[in-house]
Amino acid sequence: MDDEDVANRKVSFRKCLEHLSGAGKAIGVLTSGGDAQGMNAAVRAVVRMGIYVGAKVYFIYEGYQGMVDGGRNIVEASWESVSSILQVGGTIIGSARCKAFRTREGRLRAAHNLVQRGITNLCVIGGDGSLTGANIFRKEWSGLLEELAQNGEMDKEQVQKHSYLNVVGMVGSIDNDFCGTDMTIGTDSALHRIIEVVDAIMTTAQSHQRTFVLEVMGRHCGYLALVSALACGADWVFLPESPPEEGWQENMCIKLSENRARKKRLNIIIVAEGAIDTQNKPITSEQIKELVVKQLGYDTRVTILGHVQRGGTPSAFDRILASRMGVEAVVALLQATPETPACVVSLSGNQAVRLPLVECVQMTQDVQRAMDERRFKDAVRLRGRSFESNLNTYKRLAIKLPDDQIVKSNCNVAIINVGAPAAGMNAAVRSAVRVGIADGHKMLAIYDGFEGFAKGQIKEIGWGDVGGWTGQGGSILGTKRTLPGKSLEDIAAQMRKHSINALLIVGGFEAYLGLLELSAARDKYEELCVPMVMVPATVSNNVPGSDFSIGADTALNTITDTCDRIKQSASGTKRRVFIIETMGGYCGYLANMGGLAAGADAAYIFEEPFDIRDLQKATSRPCSASAYLHSGTWTRTTVMTTESNVEHLTEKMKTTIQRGLVLRNESCNENYTTDFIYQLYSEEGKGVFDCRKNVLGHMQQGGAPSPFDRNFGTKISARAMQWISTKLKEALGKGKRFMSDDSICVLGISKRNLLFQPVAQLRQETDFEHRIPKEQWWLKLRPLMKILAKYKVSYEVSDSDQLEPMHHRGHEEPAAI
């Protein structure tokens, strides 16, 4: 970049920063409709980002009812008023259905109450009904103000000053029933509640050989039921969008009895509360129970989860999602003009995007219309490619065709786990094995990594062998960090002996290095000239070629849960700062994202160098980070830190929030160790606060996998097997040797898409010394964490403020989970 480019960027930066100023503006934030975990994180982000840019932010209590009633229901928010709410479920500002707001008279009162406080920017967190109401309000705004002026309740100056209303929506709904976003706030947390119950039920069901019918929420959307079924390996699932075919009663009973015949001691059936048959008649959990008891005589119980799914603490995913959406919503409001249509802040892959509210609501209503008209294929398609992909994957994994109906490929496909264990690995193996068998391959399991490969620890693995694997942590196949380099000859001999035609590797950075070594050895060993694909699985999330790795979400939830408990322990003691060390090697993903999810005051990571001045004394110095762009993307820039961490915490102790939380990545600095930082904070904070330290260690690698990791592992591994089957089919009967770069790949999420990237190409994108990718997407969230922790940081914004078209999707596969 030359001097002229730098000068232009500085001018653009100044222009955009001025445009972003919230001085003299007022933002109202409300939650409406059904509550969802993570709404509080969204409220917190809106309040703090609004205050950060100089705007006034108002709580509107009890949703639209509070807006209509006014008075004490509309109160200015302060920075401290949203402290300690990240981990709280529901919504602290209340939510209520409001009949009055549906009338023009009610909206007149609401407009009057907002104008009295100068509020012309509205952030609405709710479902499609709440967002539709907000858009009607926005369209009527100028007419409402004119009517108020005519009635003598407002003067012309006020009408002119508040001439237009800006509206930005965030979707808070546990059902994930809103078209346009991959995930709504609250969905992941609801899945956590469901999977916790399913895991508990499976142990008792196994003891007594019972069948359990679980009813989950989803009156008009089967997302929770579908993903829960995928995540626990349910025998049958009932969805509103995809009713079972005629004669489903007999088919289901055959499936349940076949599973029992395979020595499966339990059956799990998941039912969405809005499940229907092809004639739009309800299918109830009691009806299913009676059928199973009558036809099969199985001991069958019904569990209706109900409002348990709405409750509890939000997951790490929901906290981060809601925080990102909240900040983006404020930016969108400050950028809006009178011509800007109402928009929804959405998630596409791992990117925040803005979509037209009206189009999203229209498509959501189109799904319901398709179901009402019994156009169920259209309903599934309108839900989006992610929903469709989930449904197809579930069908492939749940229902095994008879052996005589599977066309044999005469190919042997091996699967191996490499590196440290990560929660979700077993779900990935199960998925690969079943998709491989369905595609006609003979599936081989390699035990104990490349070490076991060289020793010939290889066995055939069948459909029933992987039953019940999705919910188990660790690696059932066994995994080691050993690389194949020293055993290439033995590995080639084993591949020849077992006639292995393709290899699927599930693992972390060691798996990536192993894949590179196997690729380099292809010239010497023709046995290695087969399709090979790697599925990233590591808590560190440091594999080049993928924004996410299996296991990282589970580790992140462990960190977040631990931080919540630690913060709670400090609430009684007061004036206490906790230093917490996370795993990740040189990759700061867990520390940074854990800090954002837990509301940390600081997170020390290798990717952002720091020195003693940052820790101890007040300073103004640049440090490398990634800057926020209005378009939802980020760029490398300089973040100016104007106060040290100790000074920041000292100031914080003067407020009502008398506790601190600091995360440190285990390898962020070889000299500034956890002990050193603990001792420094203890010394510098004498008389103001005391310190405690915690090293979380291997608990981050253990435990049952989160719903995200189960689903991600299942879907990405199924896709990897489809790729292998396609490659083998192309070579059928040709005796083809696979030598090209595109036959040895890493499969991962890149921005919005699932991509197969040749390992040779990824070599250029890798920092091998520190075992991390050279570019890491999550660094863009770095300034976000600092802003929400009240650090004074500057960030650069682009001129782009365009809404994306609703149907904008690339040609690649969607990366949504």
Active site residues: 175
Name the residue type at position 452: G
Query: If you write DSSP's letter for every residue of 784-804 in order, what string do you get?
Result: HHHHHTT--------S--PPP
170 annotated among ligand-binding-site residues? no
Whether residue 540 is annotated as binding a ligand: the answer is yes
Q: Was 66 annotated as part of a binding site?
A: no
381 annotated as belonging to a binding site for a ligand: no
Check the annotation: does 78 bind a ligand: no
Is 174 marked as a binding-site residue?
yes
Residue 580 token pair: 């917490």
Helix, strand or coil for residue 31? strand
8 Å CB contact between 375 and 210: no
- Is 658 marked within a binding site? no
Beta-bridged to residue 29, according to DSSP, are 59, 123
Distance CA 333, CA 29 (A): 12
Given the structure tokens 């169920």, which residue do they identify? 376
> Do 804 and 354 form a contact (C-beta atoms < 8 A)?
yes
Q: Is there a binding annotation on residue 771?
A: yes
Question: Is 301 known to sit in a ligand binding site?
Answer: yes
Cα–Cα nearest to 240, from 283, 216, 275, 273: 275
Task: Give me the amino acid identity at 241.
Answer: E
- The answer to whether 535 is annotated as binding is no
Residue 132 among known ligand-binding residues: no
The response to whether 396 counts as a known ligand-binding position is no
Q: Name residues whose C-beta falls within 8 Å of residue 266's C-beta, 6 or more positions apart in sequence.
A: 202, 205, 206, 209, 210, 211, 212
Please choose, from the candidates 176, 295, 296, the residue with its C-alpha nearest in 3D space to the C-alpha of residue 239: 176
Q: List the structure tokens of 210.
A: 């019972």
What are residue 628's DSSP bridge partners?
A: 634
The answer to whether the annotation marks 247 as part of a ligand binding site is: no
Amino acid 463 reads W
The answer to whether 584 is annotated as binding is yes
Instruction: State the DSSP H helix or E strand holding residue 392, giving kind and residue range, or none if neither.
Output: helix 385-398
Residue 130 assigned ligand-binding role? yes
- The one-letter amino acid code at 174 reads I
Q: Flag whether 701 is marked binding.
A: yes
The one-character DSSP state at 420 is: S
The answer on whether 210 is annotated among ligand-binding residues is yes
217 is in an annotated binding site: yes
Let me know the angle formed at the C-alpha of 573 by 571 and 575, rounded to the nearest 5 degrees: 90
418 is in an annotated binding site: no
Helix, strand, coil shares of the chain as percentages rounded to 5? 45, 20, 35
**Is 346 labelled as part of a ligand binding site?**
no
Residue with tokens 């509890």: 312
* Cα dihedral 697, 701, 704, 707 sign: positive
**What is the CB neighbour count within 10 angstroms for residue 391?**
20
Q: What is the dihedral of CA 20, 21, 24, 28, to 10 degrees?
A: 50
Could you tell me which residues are beta bridge partners of residue 74?
60
How far is 41 from 65, CA to CA, in rounded Å? 22
DSSP 551-574: THHHHHHHHHHHHHHHHHHHHHH-
Question: 533 - beta bridge partners?
Answer: 504, 745
What is the C-alpha separation between 600 and 518, in angstroms, rounded? 42
Is 175 annotated as contributing to ligand binding? yes
Span between the terminal Cα atoms of the chain, in Å: 37
Q: How many CB atoms lie within 10 A of CB 239?
A: 29
Sheet with 267-272: list strands edge to edge: 236-238, 267-272, 211-216, 300-304
665 annotated among ligand-binding-site residues: no
Question: How many Å separate Cα 817 from the centre of its chain?
Answer: 8
Q: Which residues are registered as beta bridge partners of 354?
A: 345
Is there a binding annotation on residue 539?
A: yes
User: Is 87 one of the annotated binding-site residues?
Assistant: no
Q: Say whether 699 counts as a known binding-site residue.
A: yes
How wide is the angle at C-alpha 33 spanned by C-alphas 29 and 34, nearest 5°?
115
How far apart CA 30 and CA 28 sit, in angstroms, is 7
Chain centroid to Cα 514, Å, comes to: 29
183 is annotated as contributing to ligand binding: no
CA dist., res. 456 & res. 443, Å (int) = 15
Q: Which residues have CB under 8 Å from 790's CB, separation 6+?
A: 48, 52, 79, 648, 652
The answer to the question of whether 481 is labelled as a binding residue is yes
Residue 705 Cα distances to 423, 461, 550, 555, 714, angstroms: 5, 22, 9, 9, 12
DSSP assignments along 59-82, one per residue: EETTHHHHHHH-GGGEEE--SGGG
Amino acid at 55: A
List, as residue ranges, the binding site for ATP: 34, 97-98, 127-130
Question: Which residues are annotated as part of the binding site?
Answer: 34, 97-98, 127-130, 173-175, 210, 217-219, 273, 301, 307-310, 481, 538-542, 576, 583-585, 666, 692, 698-701, 771
Q: Known binding site for beta-D-fructose 2,6-bisphosphate: residues?
A: 481, 538-542, 576, 583-585, 666, 692, 698-701, 771
Please enumerate, by residue number, every residue annotated as part of a binding site for substrate: 173-175, 210, 217-219, 273, 301, 307-310
Binding residues for Mg(2+): 128
